[in-house]
Structure 1
Amino acid sequence: MSSKPVVLITGALSGIGRAAAFAFARDDARVVVSGRRAEEGRMLAAELVALGAQAEFIQADVRFEDDVRRLVDDAVERFGRLDIAVNSAGSEGESAPVMEQTPERYAAVFDTNVLGTLLAMKHELRVMSAQGSGSIVNISSTMGVRGAAGASIYTASKHAVEGLTRSAALEAAAFGVRVNAVAPGPVDTAMLDRLTANAERKAAFLAGVPLKRAGTPDEMADAIRFVASDKASFMTGEVLRVNGGRTAS
């Protein structure tokens, strides 16, 4: 059996998830990338293979348990085990004041960010608990510990992800499995561009970051790799905040 770790990444087709896929591929891991868009997923897998990695795309929508169950089972069938899972699939939803929010907007965000994380962990832990080993990294946000006017639903979803992470960590410890989260601050991705709407608003937003810039997807991927690795072997139930100082005060 290969000694190369098997890494599963949801939400791997863009932003932080995509950067993590390349980071683990460069580490010589066997990488399973997943997302909803088949053509983009196949292209990503081909890019990873071109780097010399063993990589495969499996299409799945984390909002649906049958998809998640099949994703995990297919990954294990392909590579024989599951060592690391990065649950990166997420949606920021539509910005609006609380008085204008709707059940539909709530479901659009919570079904991906919260239910998707829960279902992913459920089936990842099913495999990892039987192995007696594994590391799960969920993706939270600076908004996991702060409030944000106009982003109540997204903020609530990330608070929920952190609660799920801590609870799952307490359960998984009995099986030798670690569960943590990485909570990025503003990262230079399409999501940040959508949230800030234009260059002027983006610049004003980043002026409030103590380090005076956005993070990069590669910086977030490095944090994910650390938390997932044996270098963090005594770390579970924790949230690593990587936000340029946004939560320091």
Structure 2
Amino acid sequence: MAAYARWKGREVSSRDVILGRVRRALADVSDDTPYEQAVDRSYLREHGARSVAETVDLLAENLADYRAIVHRCTADGLPAVIAGLLADRGSTSVLVPPGLDGEWLAATGVPRVPDRADSTAHELDRVDSVVTACTVAIAETGTLVLDGGPEQGRRRVTLVPDHHICVVRVPDQVVSSVPQALLRLDPTRPLTWISGPSATSDIELDRVEGVHGPRILEVVLVSGRPGAVTA
């Protein structure tokens, strides 16, 4: 049922309001105006001026707001962090994309499950955890974007196992806004946009997690390069 509002003494539907705004926006556009020139589509590429550190902090804040669990470490400390996260969850198996850096899992003895094209949903459901990288992370929305690259694996490997550990290289993979992220993405790739663990809610707003993806999303923000010497 359409929502109704009062406008100039009469009731109008939401549809009428939206179409009215479209007509006003196009009032001075002639029929022969090219589509791409009909409406000014310039808009802000980001909201406010932030330093790199502030952008990363905003990402961490918004990830946590979506109930992702956020960790920070250096590149040298990453293997220990991942090993600890797997141990904390009692994981007995971890799915590994084909291009994932083997050093990331060097400190854990959890059996590794390869990402195979013929893996079934039932097989993936028996895997306790999956570790992936990402393509880009968006600070303003707390969103991770995966494109199915070698470090990320097929889309389904991050949608079936109950525990997803995603590694984000900071600041290289962090941008402020969605427009900035789009410039880094290939629209022909299988893009997965992740904002927190999988969740839904009913009409009474009772939140249920793990409906169509992992119940637990842990994000590791990794700074520096392995073996880097700091002053």
TM-score (norm 2): 0.35
Higher strand share: 2
Instruction: Give the number of the structure whose alpha-carbon radius of gyration is greater.
Output: 2
Higher helix share: 1
